[in-house]
Amino acid sequence: MRMEMLMLMNMPAMLLLTVGAYLLGLWVKEKSGLALLHPFLISIPVIIAVLKLTDIPCSFYIESNVLIDFLLGPSVVSLGLLLYDNRDIVLKNCAGILTSVLVGSVVGVASVWVLCRVFGLDEVFLLSLEPKSVTTPIAMDISESLGGNASLTAVSVVLCGFIGAVLGPLVLRLIKIKSPVARGLGMGCSSHGLGTARAIEMGAVEGAVSGLSIALMGIATALIIPLFNLIVR
């Protein structure tokens, strides 16, 4: 009972740890001016270090941050406001958006298959990495349904999102992509949630299209992966 009370008292501290670590990451990024120092890159090691040093179970940390988990829902729904405000642009480019998402999904799945074959990775790796370009909940469901490893899928999705959020804007500048719709599609299709957060910083249209592409990529990838695997086997 005493231990339970102590853990209960530590719950607000875990919430503060999450927010504080992220704010520290933002501060480091702003002070350094380096895009590679994404707040996630700073906050995650800080949180892990604190949990290890204080011997606090990861399960307790997750339970303590239930408020943040709850706020993820409204934050995703809020993307609909951006989409509504820019609905004319989205409708005007509807055909291009759908085509780009379809091509992006096929290329994403095919590239994983090719790389897994080149490096001799087994079937579990292949099935776990194929959904890397869609948001975590959808990717894990797809992976599990195909017989992949959901944990490996989650890691690949986070890495994919992080790399896209950091390097995506640079790549778009290097290849001189100036269309807000194309930039939003590139960020959303390649790096889902983290990419969309970065796309919103780039502009309202980029954020709206990137948010839409998360949903479309999830649907397209869920349909394409089983069909692709059936064809290549």
Over the stretch 22-66, which tens digit does the pLDDT of each residue have?
A: 899 888 888 887 777 778 888 888 999 988 888 888 888 888 888
Q: Kindly report, residue by residue over 159-173, the tens digit of the pLDDT.
A: 888 888 888 888 888
Residue 17 amino acid letter: L
Domains of the chain, by residue range, sit at 2-76, 80-232
Contacts of 38 (CB under 8 A, 6+ apart): 25, 29, 162, 165, 166, 194
**Residue 216 confidence (pLDDT) above 60:** yes
The pair of structure tokens assigned to 206 is 């980029």
Helices (H) and strands (E) in the chain, counts: 12, 0
Q: Which amino acid is at 71?
A: L
Output 19 or 75, whichever has higher pLDDT. 19
